[in-house]
Amino acid sequence: MELCLGTVQFGMNYGVYNTQKKDADYCVKCLDYATQNGISAIDTAAAYGTAEEVVGAFLEKKTISRDKIWISTKFLPNILDNCEQKDYRYVIKQNLEKSLKTLHIDYVDTYFLHSSRYAFREDILEALSYVQKDGLARKIGVSVYYPEEALACYKSSYVDYIQAPYSIFDHRMEQKGIFEKNNMGNCSVDVRTAFIKGLIRLGIDEIPEYLSKAKPILKQLDVICEKTGYSRIDLAIGYIKRQKNIKHLVFGIRNLEQLKEDIDSFGKVICSDIFQEIDKVFENIDTDIVVPSLWKRKGD
């Protein structure tokens, strides 16, 4: 498993409190630091505000050669809903070409569909496969949210990559066998949401009222941290790192200090007994806590 730097927070306000994005130069500095310190994968998306532009500015500097770095981006969500089937290939290719121009590269290593429900649409998956045939994407895949979507991708002859949520509190994919090689076939898997949109980084008093259900869960995690001597970030990353069939752990940062902390935590070796306890303690956390799209903010 390798780290992959996610860039949503480079292109738009993001996190539990929709934290203000940093300026582009600072974000490029973070990408420079990451790629000079062992991270050779970057994940972005057309829907992440100006994130592709930031990544493009970094790539244009050519501080790392293209063949040494893995780049993924995502097709804009939902835009095929109002298209006729005969236009799918054209719209997908047109959008990827726009992303490539923004990124200042000739191809992406993986092009994901951002609409997870398209995992059940073989006609769309077939249309997506043509950007692979055209050499614009090495692999194609779907960014999924639920195990059923991941399993649908595994059954498709077109999909060879998925990106799925997985964290110390969110065990749904593991429980449904999504990371088992006999289920995956030839499909690769990246995981995201390791820090649950920044929730794991918050102090108890910083947790907003609409996430009050998370307070006792984080307190339980703090007890384990105190007992073991590891930080929340150590355990959050270590929990994922133990899965041997995951290719990339996609993670986001708010600043350079967090990036340094995450790289340090990824290098730590943690006893498996600790994770056995975590599996029991956090076995059935409510989905509306671990899936940010289900959060019900005040006023929603």
Query: pLDDT value at position 300?
Result: 45
Cβ atoms of residues 71 and 109 within 8 Å: yes
Query: pLDDT value at position 297?
Result: 66
Query: pLDDT value at position 20?
Result: 86
pTM: 0.95
Query: pLDDT value at position 299?
Result: 45
The number of angstroms, rounded, from the C-alpha of 281 to the middle of its chain's C-alpha atoms is 24
By percentage, how much of the chain surpasses pLDDT 70?
Answer: 99
Query: pLDDT value at position 169?
Result: 96
Query: pLDDT value at position 293?
Result: 86
State how far the Cα of 140 lies from the Cα of 177, in Å rounded to an integer.
21
Instruction: Please list, residue by residue across 9-36, b when 16 or more beta carbons sit within 10 angstroms of its beta carbon and e when fewer do.
Output: bbbeebbbeeeebbebeebbebbeebbe
Which residues in the chain show pLDDT less than 70? Answer: 297-300
Tokens standing for residue 1 = 């498993």
Per-residue DSSP letters for 227-261?
Answer: HH---HHHHHHHHHHT-TT--EEEE--SSHHHHHH
Cβ atoms of residues 108 and 157 within 8 Å: no
In tens, the pLDDT along 38-53 reads 999 999 999 999 999 9
State how far the Cα of 111 lies from the Cα of 139, in Å rounded to an integer.
6
